[in-house]
């Protein structure tokens, strides 16, 4: 520190001498009265002193904050946690076991509807997404479209039978890492859901459930990817399997073996217990990598994405960026510790912390806000799977006993080893008989019983009505 201080003050002394010399030189060259020259000389000297003071203060702050930052980074390194995105990469998988090899072949064979307004295939797909009747309009159009994707579906089925999945991702690129397979997975899962609905309506409910199993397994192919966006896409793609299941159970009669197989698939493709923790660790490494990229290359893609202003990227003092990174690490470390202790992260809590940050914390403000929304997404997926498993078990009970049970406890242990509980409340899932069918629901993120009403009522297409996560099966 003493040596560093000597260096700083040495530079400051050089700056003072240089600016003083410049002031005297300018004053001599100008044709001014002696009084004016004295005023100009004093002004230059004052400016030199002010600039030197700013330089010294900024240098001291930069040194101090950089030292704090290095101490925090050393703690992470000592805990053997990832500091670079490449350290978060999932383990390699052999070509023979890797489902991604076949999925990529399937993506190359995929046929999409034309991106033109009024295209009949696109309209038919949208209409099926909104269907609440079980009667598929434009069936011939959809069947022709699905036939064009037959080879794609065959490759997906082959891949879904493989034990592991790892796409080629260059994590060394940090925030600029390309992930083209994400949109592909979400799209093919949508098409598989459409295929299942057509199979169910055509009187092939067991084949429909098998198709939805493929969708669940394809989505689960992203389970080992640590990136936040990969996990969000996985959860979104998984919804096609559960939402498709609700439709199939409402409008067809799959057999017990098919229902049992789907229950097993839902259990095997659930989120790994450490998925959220790994996601946070990866996000933290991506963040520290982004800060490093900004320092090393202010005009790089990562820097431009996070700090739009050229002046801010170029002129931002080093201590401001270091303080920004310290704030980022404090928020991320706290979130990671809470997840480790299973304490959870309250929705909106991180937004509040970000709002309290100085306006110059550009990077933290850009990187952090999505973090506290993710736990809810994981729980919503867990709730949807619990509701789906119970719904399948209810159907198995009816196939065996001729009617649905009076209460969910009757499902265990004959159908399920144990009845899953509501992940939001820890209580039993809600259940009631409804006409010839039933309704099962979780209370959802607000932990209030809205009677099974979701943010959009799928029976009418209206909303918002409630916050529950439910299955409504009409038969």
Residue 366 contacts by C-beta under 8 Å, 6 or more apart in sequence? 305, 306, 307
Q: Is 14 in the same domain as 61?
A: yes
Beta bridge mates, 471: 440
Question: What is the Cα Rg of the chain in Å?
Answer: 30
Q: Is 139 in the same domain as 238?
A: yes
Residue 315, domain member (yes or no): yes
Q: Is 106 in the same domain as 242?
A: yes
CA angle centred on 169, ends 77 and 299, rounded to 5°: 75
Boundary (domain end) residue, out of 309, 341, 367? 367
Q: Is 468 in the same domain as 436?
A: yes
pLDDT of residue 127: 78
- 53: containing domain: 2-78
CA angle centred on 426, ends 424 and 429, rounded to 5°: 80
pLDDT of residue 64: 81
Tens-of-pLDDT digits for all 475 residues of the chain?
A: 344 444 444 555 565 556 556 655 655 665 667 776 677 667 766 776 676 666 666 676 677 888 899 999 999 999 999 999 999 999 999 999 999 999 999 999 999 998 888 888 888 888 777 666 767 878 899 999 999 999 999 999 999 999 999 999 999 998 889 999 999 999 999 999 999 999 999 999 999 999 999 999 999 999 999 999 999 999 999 999 999 999 999 999 999 999 999 999 999 999 887 888 999 999 999 999 988 888 888 888 777 777 777 666 666 777 788 888 999 999 999 989 888 887 767 766 777 888 888 877 888 888 887 777 788 888 899 999 999 999 999 999 999 999 999 999 999 999 999 999 999 999 999 999 988 999 999 999 888 998 888 765 544 444 456 789 999 998 8
The pair of structure tokens assigned to 3 is: 């040596």
CB atoms within 10 A of CB 129: 14
The pair of structure tokens assigned to 289 is: 């990598």
pLDDT of residue 37: 63
Beta bridge mates, 430: 441
pLDDT of residue 315: 66
Q: Is 129 in the same domain as 178?
A: yes
Q: Is 51 in the same domain as 147?
A: no
Give the separation between CA 287 and CA 124, rounded to whole angstroms. Answer: 42
Give the separation between CA 46 and CA 55, rounded to whole angstroms. Answer: 14
Residue 464, domain member (yes or no): yes
| CATH code, 411 | 3.30.700.10
Q: Is 66 in the same domain as 178?
A: no
Compute CA distances 129 → 92, 125, 133, 134, 196, whole Å. Answer: 37, 6, 11, 11, 12
Tell how far CA 349 is from the center of its chain.
18
pLDDT of residue 6: 42
pLDDT of residue 1: 39
Q: Is 243 in the same domain as 129?
A: yes
């Amino acid at each position: 520190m003493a040596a560093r201080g000597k260096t700083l003050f040495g530079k400051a002394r050089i700056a003072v001498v240089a600016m003083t010399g410049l002031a005297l030189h300018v004053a001599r060259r100008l044709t001014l009265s002696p009084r004016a020259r004295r005023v100009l000389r004093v002004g230059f000297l004052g400016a030199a002193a002010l600039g030197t003071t700013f330089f010294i203060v900024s240098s001291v702050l930069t040194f101090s904050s950089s030292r704090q930052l290095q101490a925090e980074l050393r703690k992470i390194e000592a805990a053997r946690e990832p500091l670079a995105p490449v350290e978060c990469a999932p383990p390699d998988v052999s070509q023979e076991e890797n489902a991604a090899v076949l999925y990529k072949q399937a993506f190359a064979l995929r046929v999409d509807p034309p991106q033109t307004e009024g295209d009949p295939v696109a309209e038919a797909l949208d209409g099926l997404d909104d269907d609440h009747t079980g009667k598929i309009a434009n069936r011939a159009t959809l069947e022709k479209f699905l036939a064009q994707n037959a080879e794609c579906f065959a490759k997906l089925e082959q891949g879904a039978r493989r034990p592991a999945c790892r796409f080629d991702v260059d994590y060394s690129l940090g925030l600029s890492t390309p992930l083209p397979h994400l949109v592909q997975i979400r799209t093919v899962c949508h098409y598989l859901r459409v295929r299942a609905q057509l199979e169910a309506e055509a009187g092939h409910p067991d084949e429909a459930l098998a198709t939805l199993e493929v969708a669940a397994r394809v989505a689960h192919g992203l389970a080992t990817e640590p990136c936040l966006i990969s996990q969000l896409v996985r959860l979104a793609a998984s919804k096609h399997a559960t939402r498709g299941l609700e439709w199939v159970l409402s409008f067809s009669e799959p057999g017990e073996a098919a229902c049992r197989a789907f229950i097993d698939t839902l259990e095997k493709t659930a989120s790994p217990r450490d998925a959220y923790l790994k996601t946070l660790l990866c996000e933290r490494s991506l963040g520290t990598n982004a800060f490093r990229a900004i320092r090393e290359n202010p005009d790089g893609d990562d820097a431009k994405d996070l700090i739009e202003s050229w002046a801010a990227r170029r002129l931002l003092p080093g201590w401001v960026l270091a303080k920004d990174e310290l704030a980022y690490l404090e928020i991320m470390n706290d979130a990671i510790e809470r997840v480790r202790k299973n304490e959870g992260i309250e929705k909106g809590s991180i937004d509040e912390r970000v709002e309290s940050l100085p306006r110059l914390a550009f990077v933290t403000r850009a990187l952090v806000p999505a973090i506290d929304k993710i736990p809810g997404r994981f729980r919503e997926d867990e709730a949807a799977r619990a509701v789906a498993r119970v719904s399948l078990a209810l159907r198995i009970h009816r196939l065996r006993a001729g009617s649905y049970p009076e209460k969910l406890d009757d499902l265990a242990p004959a159908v399920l080893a144990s009845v899953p509980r509501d992940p939001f409340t820890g209580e039993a899932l809600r259940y009631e008989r409804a006409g010839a069918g039933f309704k099962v629901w979780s209370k959802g993120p607000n932990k209030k019983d809205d009677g099974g009403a979701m943010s959009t009522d799928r029976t009418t297409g209206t909303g918002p009505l409630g916050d529950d996560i439910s299955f409504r099966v009409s038969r």
